[in-house]
Structure 1
Amino acid sequence: MLTTYTIETGHLVVREGAQDTEALRRAVWIDLLTPTPEEEQQVQNALRLEIPTREEMQEIESSSRLYKEDDTLFLTAPFLYGVDGGELGSTAITFVLGNSQLVTVRYATPKAFAVFSARCQRTPAMLLGTADGVMLHLFEQVVDRLADILERVGADMDRASQAAFRTARAKVKATTKDADLKGALITLGQVGEVTTRANETLLGLSRILTFVGAEKATAVRRENQALIKSLVRDVRSLVEHANFLNSKANFLLDAVLGIINVEQNAIIKTFTVASVALMPPTLVASIYGMNFRVMPELQWEFGYPMALGVMVVSAVLPIFYFKRKGWL
Structure 2
Amino acid sequence: MLTSYALAEGRLVVRDGILPTADLARAVWIDLLNPTAEEERAVQAALRLEIPTREEMEEIESSSRLYREDETLFLTANFLHGVEGGEYGSTPITFVLASQALVTVRHQTPKAFAVFALRCQKSPGLLASPDAVMLHLFEQIVDRLADILERIGANMDRASAAAFRSAKAKVKADKRDADLRGALITLGEVGEVTTRASETLLGLSRILTFVGAEKATAVRKENQPLIKTLVRDVRSLVDHAGVLNSKANFLLDAVLGIINVEQTNIIKTFTVASVALMPPTLIASIYGMNFSHMPELNSAWGYPAALLLMILSAAAPILYFKRKGWL
TM range (shorter): over 0.9
Please state how far the C-alpha of 1:33 moved relative to its aligned partner.
Answer: 0.5
Q: Hey, what's the Cα distance between the residues in 2 that align with 1:175 and 1:277?
A: 28
Within 5 Å, give how 1:74-85 maps onto structure 2: 74-85=74-85
Q: Deviations over 1:49-88 (max 9, x none)?
A: 1000001100000000000000000000001011011111
Please state how far the C-alpha of 1:302 moved relative to its aligned partner.
Answer: 2.0
SS of the residue 1:297 aligns to: helix
Q: Gaps (5+ residues) in structure 1?
A: none
Aligned residues: 327
Q: Deviations over 1:283-326 (max 9, x none)?
A: 11111011111111121122112111111111122212222322
Please state how far the C-alpha of 1:171 moved relative to its aligned partner.
Answer: 1.2
Within 5 Å, give how 1:108-123 maps onto structure 2: 108-123=108-123
* TM-score calculated relative to the size of structure 2: 0.99
Instruction: Output the amino acid matched with 1:108.
Output: Q
What residue is the counterpart of 2:226 in the other structure? 227
Within 5 Å, give how 1:42-81 maps onto structure 2: 42-81=42-81
Q: Gaps (5+ residues) in structure 2?
A: none
Please state how far the C-alpha of 1:15 moved relative to its aligned partner.
Answer: 0.4
Within 5 Å, give how 1:190-269 maps onto structure 2: 190-269=189-268
Q: Deviations over 1:85-105 (max 9, x none)?
A: 111111100000011100000
Q: Hey, what's the Cα distance between the residues in 1 that align with 2:98 and 2:66?
A: 14
Instruction: Output the amino acid matched with 2:157.
Output: D
Q: Hey, what's the Cα distance between the residues in 1 that align with 2:35 and 2:48?
A: 17
Q: Hey, what's the Cα distance between the residues in 2 that align with 1:158 and 1:16?
A: 43
SS of the residue 1:5 aligns to: strand
What residue is the counterpart of 2:169 in the other structure? 170
What residue is the counterpart of 1:106 in the other structure? 106
Please state how far the C-alpha of 1:176 moved relative to its aligned partner.
Answer: 1.2
SS of the residue 1:55 aligns to: helix
Matched, 1:296 2:295: yes
SS of the residue 1:43 aligns to: helix
SS of the residue 1:78 aligns to: strand
What residue is the counterpart of 2:316 in the other structure? 317
Q: Hey, what's the Cα distance between the residues in 1 that align with 2:77 and 2:263?
A: 45
Q: Hey, what's the Cα distance between the residues in 2 that align with 1:254 and 1:319?
A: 33
Percent of paired sites with the same residue: 77
Instruction: Output the amino acid matched with 1:87.
Output: E
Q: Hey, what's the Cα distance between the residues in 1 that align with 2:320 and 2:7?
A: 87
Please state how far the C-alpha of 1:116 moved relative to its aligned partner.
Answer: 0.2
Q: Deviations over 1:96-117 (max 9, x none)?
A: 0011100000001000000000
What residue is the counterpart of 1:140 in the other structure? 139
Q: Hey, what's the Cα distance between the residues in 2 that align with 1:318 and 1:203?
A: 61
Q: Hey, what's the Cα distance between the residues in 1 that align with 2:2 and 2:279?
A: 82
Instruction: Output the amino acid matched with 2:28.
Output: V
Please state how far the C-alpha of 1:136 moved relative to its aligned partner.
Answer: 0.1
Q: Hey, what's the Cα distance between the residues in 1 that align with 2:289 and 2:173?
A: 42
SS of the residue 1:100 aligns to: coil
Instruction: Output the amino acid matched with 2:16.
Output: E
* TM-score calculated relative to the size of structure 1: 0.98
Q: Hey, what's the Cα distance between the residues in 2 that align with 1:97 and 1:18?
A: 20
Please state how far the C-alpha of 1:277 moved relative to its aligned partner.
Answer: 1.1
Between 1:306-315 and 1:147-156, the stretch displaced more is: 306-315
What residue is the counterpart of 2:33 in the other structure? 33
Q: Hey, what's the Cα distance between the residues in 2 that align with 1:185 and 1:163?
A: 12
Instruction: Output the amino acid matched with 2:128.
Output: G
Within 5 Å, give how 1:80-99 maps onto structure 2: 80-99=80-99
Q: Hey, what's the Cα distance between the residues in 1 that align with 2:213 and 2:277?
A: 78
Q: Hey, what's the Cα distance between the residues in 2 that align with 1:174 and 1:284?
A: 36
